Amino acid sequence: MRLSLDTRKVGHVTIVRCNGRIVAGGESDSLRAHVTWLLRDRRAIVLHMGEVEFIDSSGLGTMVRSLTSIRQAHGELKLCNVPDHVRKVLELSHLTKLFDSHDSEEMAVAAFYRPGAGAETPVRTGRSVLCLDCNADVLAYLREIMSRAGYEVHTSGRMSDALILMRVTHFDLLLVGPGIAASPATQQAFQTACAALPVIELGGEFSTCDAGEAGAGLLEKIETLLNSKTA
């Protein structure tokens, strides 16, 4: 089975889900090229190994080279959900101490959010806001305007990923867009987690309104809400 790479961002962390074989040839080349592409603007990377069927010496060498490249760029690479057969390869190769491995995505993401973790942990310039929306363009817009306004911005396109972030770090405010699909259990857990947070819901019209007016109005609403919480 050829290697497929499914990538998503969870806050400041990028998770790459590897499915298939990491072996000499196109598979190793694609993983190395993908990591190089990510390093243009990302420094905290997790490889989800749970669906890796087989890894050969070349594939393991690619992972080592990728780790080296990321660290040279002042980033960090972590592994999660490492299956027994891959773990055995790492043990036999005496590389278990080289890679920081975690049992789950949540634990790997949490490791990046610990104090002093370093890679891609921003200096706080204001209150911390989590934006949840299924529209990647809306998330990019929110990230830009809110960062420029002094907020520390985290974004997610999935409710389950937003839950991970809410468990591993603190937020002062949550922005939620329309049409977020999730299982009933995830929705219930999300509602429970939101109980202690001020929440602003973005209506469906936000993505189609004049960008300047929509952004200015949202920033004013955020400032008013957060100031009222500290008054």
Structural domains of the chain, with CATH: 4-113 (3.30.750.24), 128-230 (3.40.50.2300)
Give the distance from CA 128 to its chain's centroid.
15
pTM for the model: 0.82
Residue found by looking up tokens 């009933």 in the block: 184
**Tally of helices (H runs) and strands (E runs) in the chain:** 8, 9
Structure tokens at 136: 């990647």
Tell me how far apart the 2 most distant CA atoms of the chain are, in Å: 61
Per-residue pLDDT tens digits of the chain, which is 231 residues long: 789 999 999 999 999 999 999 998 999 999 999 999 999 999 999 999 999 999 998 899 999 999 999 999 999 999 999 999 999 999 888 888 899 999 999 999 999 998 766 555 444 457 899 999 988 888 888 888 888 888 999 999 999 999 999 999 999 999 999 889 899 999 999 999 999 899 999 988 887 777 778 888 899 999 998 888 665
Q: Which residues contact 67 (CB under 8 A, 6 or more apart)?
A: 77, 98, 99
Block residue for tokens 């809110």? 146
